[in-house]
Structure 1
Amino acid sequence: MKAILLKQAGGPENLYLADIAKPTIKENEVLVAVKAISLNPADVKPKYNDDMLSMLYGKERPIILGWDIAGTVTEVGAAVTNLKIGDKVFGMVNFPGVGNAYAEYVAAPEAHLAVMPSNVSFEQAAATTLAALTALQILSGKVNKGDKVLIQAGSGGVGHFAIQIAKSFGAHVITTASAKNKDFVLSIGADEVIDYHTQNFEEVLSNVDFVLDTQGGKVLENSVKVLRNGGSVITTVGMKLPEAITALAEKENKNASSILVHSSADDMNTLKAMLENGTIKPTIYKTFDFEDMANAHREVELGRTVGKVIVTLG
């Protein structure tokens, strides 16, 4: 099969196409013929740092990056009960861990996949994986009807799903975005938009119930400051909060934490239902051919995507 390999840490030029053996599956896994792959900063940024690559993938080289796939089941393990050959499926495979997604075939645990809804394409399904799971796992059980919710970077992968999900929970949704993306975030459910180029959100907001942060640093610090007494912020940046953020939250009687998204068929099936009933709709910014993976990475690295960058096979 064809796969995109990374031999050593570095830029997109270090990604290369190769023919390798198909993966074999375990009894709880299925083999998926991949039709579409979604790219994330989580698989684009670490390739520059060998220590980060070793932490995520181990020390063996070359490695196959990526976690987000949509495709068709071609083989099922003996212990698989909910999926069958021919099913169209989507999911985030083995996160945290090694997903090996940049390939024609991927061995995936049944417990990480859902059957695709009939009203979406492979590209749309692949887009609704890591970013959508992150938004769902952060917001579920944390946001209630009437809450004042701030979504940082609302036009991005996580952000554009978070706006839609928070809105479906009955929240009043505020987001930060550039002026050129204002109409987009309003169209997917934002009630208020703060142009981060011309406004400092911490100067115009207060008494926010919940903040979803995707930026870290000073943005995270200021997100704590705009919370109401007892309010909460959850960030996707880093597995451990900086001590200064923890201290600030404690001092002001607020809650700050970080989250690492995890693979879950249950959550994928929640997203499936949301896709089916129109609660969420993924936005695809650009699509690249599999052989053009390096340029797909370069696009994500620009940091200007609205929604998701997708790579297609076949």
Structure 2
Amino acid sequence: MRSITQSSFGDTSVLEFAEVDRPRPGPGQVLIKVGAAGVNPVDVAVRAGFYPLLGEPPFTLGWDVAGVVEDAGSGVSAFEPGDEVLGLLAFPAAGNAYAEYVLASANEIVRRPAALTVEQAAGLPLAGLTAWQALVGIARLGEGQRVLIHRAAGGVGHLAVQIAKARGAHVVGTASRAKHALLRELGADTLIDYTTEDFVTEAGPVDVAFDLVGGEYGALSAAVVKPGGLLVGALGANLGITPEQAAERGIGLEAVSVRPSAADLARLTALAEAGRLTVHVEHVLPFAEVAKAHELISSGRTTGKVVLTP
């Protein structure tokens, strides 16, 4: 089968095709014929060596996958060949999703709902779980609360907007004005154009701030969180504020570190089935254009998700 591998860290030129043996599922595993693989900022960081999550190359990138179960190992009763599934694989270990076939643990995947195309399904797991585990697992966001979401139109952000709305929250989002129409469709209540407006003065007091930018945005976001509220950052190494500084302001500070969870993923797909969550896929590219996919992600200006197809 074909797989996209790299033998060194570097720019997109290190990504190359290789012919490798098709893996066989062991106990508790399924073999998935990949229909689409999501591309995330972590992929770019690992490829370049900025975030050596997988150690030294060679390795195959990719953690988001949607496809069809081809075979199941012993002990797997929840899935059988022909089932359409999606999942976040093995993170933070190697998921190997940039390939025609990939192995998955049965407790990392769920069935793909009819409401999502295979491309949308591939864009959901890592970004959706990041948003869910931050807003629900950590913040316990609930009815009537106000939440500030930075980069609201990005891969994680646009899903966070919908999750927050499903929880009954008032959603304040930052995004460039060109992306406001989409965000209104997704349920955002108050939108701030970060290129021309100061969110510190425009956002109003919030119960929860979800920072997908990091750095100086951390301290600035803390300024709009109510006493007793919570700032959740997605870039744990670059929160822009210390726990001591947060405590001085009377707010909590947490970092979300996404992990595979079939249970959480099932809650996300249930929202999709109920018509309360969709995945905006801006670019679908063939594996042969993986370099372009990484360049799009590196720009930091994509709306929603970028997805690869074999």
Q: TM-score range by the shorter chain?
A: over 0.9
Structure 1 residue aligned with 2:257: 260
Unaligned runs of 5+ in 1: none
Aligned to 1:131: 127
CA offset digits 1:254-313 (Å, max 9, x no partner)? 001101100011111111111111110000111101111111111111111100001112
**Does the 8 Å CA contact 1:70/1:89 hold for their aligned counterparts?**
yes
In structure 1, what is the equivalent of residue 88 of structure 2?
Answer: 92
Quote the Cα distance in structure 1 between the aligned partners of 2:176 and 2:262: 34
Give the counterpart letter for 1:82 in structure 2.
Answer: A
Question: Scaled by the length of structure 2, what TM-score is found?
Answer: 0.96
Q: What residue is the counterpart of 2:269 in the other structure? A: 272
1:241 is displaced (CA, Å) by 4.9
Q: SS at the partner of 1:278?
A: coil
Counterpart of 2:25 in structure 1 is: 25
Written as runs of structure 1 = structure 2, the 5 A alignment for 1:202-241 is 202-238=200-236, 241=239
- Post-superposition Cα deviations, 1:161-181, rounded to whole Å, max 9, x if no partner, equal 000010011101000000111
Aligned partner of 1:119 in structure 2 is 115
**Cα deviation, residue 245, structure 1:** 2.5
Deviations along 1:79-101, one digit per CA (max 9) or x if unpaired, are 11211111000011011211011
Separation in structure 2 between the aligned mates of residue 46 and residue 266 of structure 1, nearest angstrom? 27
Q: For 1:110, give the aligned amino acid.
A: A
The answer to whether the 8 Å contact 1:182/1:193 transfers is yes
Q: Percent identity?
A: 37
Alpha-carbon distance in structure 2 between the residues aligned to 1:170 and 1:239? 30
Distance 1:166 1:90, change over 3 A: same
Distance, in Å, in 1 between the alignment partners of 2:153 and 2:31 is 33
Matches within 5 A, 1:38-187: 38-49=38-49, 52-53=51-52, 56-59=53-56, 61-140=57-136, 142-187=140-185
Is the aligned partner of 1:288 residue 2:285? yes
Q: Secondary structure at the match of 1:233?
A: strand
Note if contact 2:63-2:97 (Cα within 8 Å) is conserved in structure 1.
yes
How many residue pairs were aligned? 308
- The residue type paired with residue 127 of structure 1 is G
Name the amino acid aligned to 1:166.
A
1:123 and 1:96 map into 2 onto residues whose CA distance is 22
TM-score for the superposition, normalised by structure 1: 0.95
* Structure 1 residues 197-245: Cα deviation after superposition (integer angstroms, max 9, x where no partner): 0111112234210011111111111111110010001111025856x43
State the alpha-carbon separation in 2 of the partners of residues 271 and 182 from structure 1.
Answer: 23
Task: Supply the AA of the counterpart residue of 2:90.
Answer: N
User: 1:35 aligned to 2:31?
Assistant: no
Give the conservation status (yes or no) of the 8 Å contact 2:115–2:275. no
Q: Is the 8 A contact 1:287 1:311 kept in 2?
A: yes
Aligned partner letter, 2:110: A
Is the 8 Å Cα contact of residues 214 and 239 (structure 2) preserved in structure 1? no
Runs of 5+ in structure 2 lacking a partner? none
CA contact (8 A) 1:135 1:161 kept: yes
Q: RMSD over aligned Cα, in angstroms? A: 1.3
Q: How big is the shift at 1:27? A: 0.2
